Amino acid sequence: MPRADPAGMAQTLALDWLGDAPKDGRPKWDNKFQYFLSCLGFAVGLGNVWRFPYLCQTHGGGAFLLPYAVALVFEGIPLFLIELAVGQRLQRGSLGVWTAISPYLSGVGLGCLAVSFLVSLYYNTVLSWVLWYLLNSFQQPLPWSSCPLGLNRTGLEEECQGSSAVSYFWYRQTLNISADIRDSGSVQWRLLVCLAACWAVVYMCVIRGIETTGKAIYFTALFPYLVLTAFLVRGLTLPGAVHGLTYLFTPNMQTLQNPRVWLDAATQIFFSLSLAFGGHIAFASYNPPRNNCKRDAVAIALVNSLTSLYASITVFSVLGFKATNDHGQCLDRNILSLINEFDLPEQSISRDGYLAALAHLNTTQPERVARLSLKSCRLEDFLDKSAAGPGLAFIIFTEAVVHMPGAPAWAVLFFGMLFTLGLSSMFGNMEAVVAPLLDMGVVPRWVPKEALTGLACLVCFLLATCFTLQSGNYWLEIFDSFAASLSLIVLAFLEVVGVVYVYGMKRFCDDVKWMTGSRPGLYWRVCWTLVSPLLLLTVLVTYIAFLAQKPPSYRAWNPQYEWFPARQEKRYPGWVLAACALLSLLPTLCVLGAALAQLLAQRTRRWRPRDADTR
């Protein structure tokens, strides 16, 4: 299709960070540090704290860092630079950028918009849970430290006794979860109120775009690092922290032979940097065009990965403390049973002497010992207990915090950190939703920006209320698994291919040279043309293969389950599977739909002039 070339760019384009009035009223960053922090805050999110440590632990400890580094160097950084460079050069949000590169690729921008919208919905719901826990942390003793009394006050609540106080607080008092996804239940007003507060906070911060988020980001991006450091210092001084660190970081090279490990590393680096959301494109578009985006890309990606590592050291030391604590309590319980049964003097069996005493009693009176049905206490079993996602934060970590001296303060710090981590990611998500709408002029000029962001937040809040139902957690897991993963890989693949092959590698390299002053080297060019697209394609195919291997199922919290407190594995009903498929395919459909619409528009335009000629 013809592309008109004006004789040159506007003189007003010659700006650097010291320039003055922005071209056509486009907002701009106050300083470079604000932009850096915004991109960093968007990239560093909840996943750095609760997904990376879990992956490290389950995939061979220190050995996982190898596939992670490979993925970072060959997939993460090249893709990241493409996003920043393209946004900075074309000075538009994701929708405008892809329309400018090629109208057939405008669907990529629409897909990014759709993905950002879907992710905003459930991401802020997770933040509302964090807020609920934060609000409940301002009391001593913490509400999840002990079981509440049952209905007739003679004993503890049954469901709580069967599982644990923290699980009960999470599943019953927070979520009030139903036993099946088909059973929607009622809206939980506590969660609804927290959700409203979260959306109000988000609105307050993004009300005028980067003008307001730029001020808020100083706090929300830096506070987590302070808290992580505090937790690291506290964690390393707790007993048993070293066990956690050594056990969980000891590399197990055998696991590298499992393709699942490489797949997880590739997807983790991908989601960790928040690629293909359109948020980085939007942030970079507010830069002056002459800015060293190459340095920014490498710096932000490295800091993001180092943050993941830093967070996992903190998390592991606290988990090591918890495992040691649980192990000690297990031993104490067994010792008490032995002492009570054999009427031995108090404190006659120490934790170290437990095994010897047990062996002695087993040889002398094995039937009585067998009747006690003692559980075996091995430290490795407790260290192996791991969880990712909300399970780590709301069950495991909360239990660990209860045993720390000064528990409410640590709980407040921990949930405050999670809240600010998620909030800075939400800024990027909302920017990715609002900036393209503003760029494409969907709203008339007289509508103020505050109204548009308000409308976006209101719509998101109303749609997200379905996550406050009793089955909301199951739906959130569906969104988490299906809404983002597949689509982002597809969109990223189209991004790389679009920039390298449609826009043209030579033109892109010239642009980068103009912006940064140096041409991209061999590493960049090889990655962009060959390695990254191939890697993405492999990841996509492997991902679909793993998905197709077994039908998707979910684990329900059912107090009536015979193996309670283990979670009951259930299959998704048909209509839920259809919803999952729709969610994963929606952004891809946007891409195809937009391309098709453009094709039709071109055809009709070609037909109309021909009609005019023949008349």
Partner 1 sequence: MLWPLFLLVTAIHAELCQPDAENAFKVRLSIKTALGDKAYAWDINEEYLFRAMVAFSMRKVPKRETTEIAHVLLCNVTQRVSFWFVVTDPSKNHTLPAAEIQSAIRMNRNRINNAFSLSDQTLEFLKIPSTLAPPMDPSVPIWIIIFGVIFCIIIVATTLLILSGIWQSRRKNMEPSEMVDTEDKRENMITVENGIPCDSLDAKGGHINDAFMTEDERLTPL
Among 236, 242, 299, 339, binds partner 1 (CB under 8 A): 339
- Non-local (6+) Cβ contacts of 558 within 8 A are 179, 180, 564, 567, 568
**84 touching partner 1, by CB under 8 A:** no
Our CB check for partner 1 shows the closer of 291 and 305 to be 291
**600 touching partner 1, by CB under 8 A:** no
Q: In the 8-state DSSP scheme, what is residue 149? A: B
Stretch that binds partner 1, among 84-92, 165-173, 231-239, 256-264 (CB under 8 A): 84-92
Stretch that binds partner 1, among 119-127, 336-344, 476-484, 488-496 (CB under 8 A): 336-344
Among 30, 33, 155, 573, binds partner 1 (CB under 8 A): 155
Our CB check for partner 1 shows the closer of 323 and 357 to be 357
The residue among 315, 336, 395 whose CA lies nearest residue 129 is 395
- Non-local (6+) Cβ contacts of 214 within 8 A are 29, 30, 34, 38
CA angle 529, 533, 538 (to 5 degrees): 145
CA distances from 234 to 133, 167, 238 (A): 21, 25, 6
**219 touching partner 1, by CB under 8 A:** no
Among 239, 353, 517, 521, binds partner 1 (CB under 8 A): 517
Under rule CB under 8 A, which residues in 291-320 are in contact with partner 1?
291-292
Q: Could you tell me the smallest distance in angstroms from the CB atom of residue 532 to partner 1? A: 21
424 is in an annotated binding site: no
Which helix (H) or strand (E) covers residue 569, if one does? strand 568-571
Beta carbons of 274 and 73 less than 8 angstroms apart: no
Beta carbons of 274 and 42 less than 8 angstroms apart: yes
Stretch that binds partner 1, among 271-279, 290-298, 317-325, 573-581 (CB under 8 A): 290-298
Under rule CB under 8 A, which residues in 187-206 are in contact with partner 1?
193-194, 197, 200-201, 203-204
Q: Could you tell me the smallest distance in angstroms from the CB atom of residue 412 to partner 1? A: 10
Dist CA 552 CA 538 (whole Å): 21
48 is in an annotated binding site: yes
Dist CA 362 CA 162 (whole Å): 29
**423 touching partner 1, by CB under 8 A:** no
Q: In the 8-state DSSP scheme, what is residue 467? A: G
End-to-end CA distance of the chain: 25
**28 touching partner 1, by CB under 8 A:** no
504 is in an annotated binding site: no
Residues facing residue 555 across a β-bridge? 569
Phi then psi dihedrals of residue 410, to 5 deg = -70, -35
Among 510, 592, 596, 601, binds partner 1 (CB under 8 A): 510
Our CB check for partner 1 shows the closer of 174 and 274 to be 174
325 is in an annotated binding site: no
Our CB check for partner 1 shows the closer of 8 and 405 to be 8
Our CB check for partner 1 shows the closer of 212 and 538 to be 212
Among 31, 33, 62, 149, binds partner 1 (CB under 8 A): 149
Number of residues that bind partner 1 (CB under 8 A): 61
Q: Could you tell me the smallest distance in angstroms from the CB atom of residue 85 to partner 1? A: 12
Four-residue CA torsion sign, 482, 95, 86, 445? negative
Cα 452 to the chain's mean position, in Å?
26
Our CB check for partner 1 shows the closer of 96 and 320 to be 96
Beta carbons of 304 and 48 less than 8 angstroms apart: yes
- Give the SS3 label for residue 555: strand
Chain position carrying tokens 């560093």: 44
**511 touching partner 1, by CB under 8 A:** yes
Beta carbons of 502 and 105 less than 8 angstroms apart: yes
Under rule CB under 8 A, which residues in 380-409 are in contact with partner 1?
none
Residues facing residue 570 across a β-bridge? 554
162 is in an annotated binding site: no
- Non-local (6+) Cβ contacts of 299 within 8 A are 36
Our CB check for partner 1 shows the closer of 76 and 278 to be 278
**262 touching partner 1, by CB under 8 A:** no
**20 touching partner 1, by CB under 8 A:** no
176 is in an annotated binding site: no
Residues in the chain: 615
Our CB check for partner 1 shows the closer of 445 and 550 to be 445
**290 touching partner 1, by CB under 8 A:** yes
Q: x-or-dash pattern for partner 1, window 545-584, by CB under 8 A?
A: ----------------------------------------
CA angle 60, 64, 68 (to 5 degrees): 165
Beta carbons of 355 and 369 less than 8 angstroms apart: no
Q: What is the token pair recorded at 456?
A: 């976006």
Our CB check for partner 1 shows the closer of 330 and 583 to be 330
The residue among 193, 267, 216 whose CA lies nearest residue 468 is 193
Per CB under 8 A, residues contacting partner 1 are 2-12, 14, 16, 23-24, 89-92, 100-101, 132, 135-136, 138-139, 148-149, 153-155, 193-194, 197, 200-201, 203-204, 207-208, 212, 290-292, 339-340, 343-347, 448-450, 503, 507, 510-511, 514, 516-517
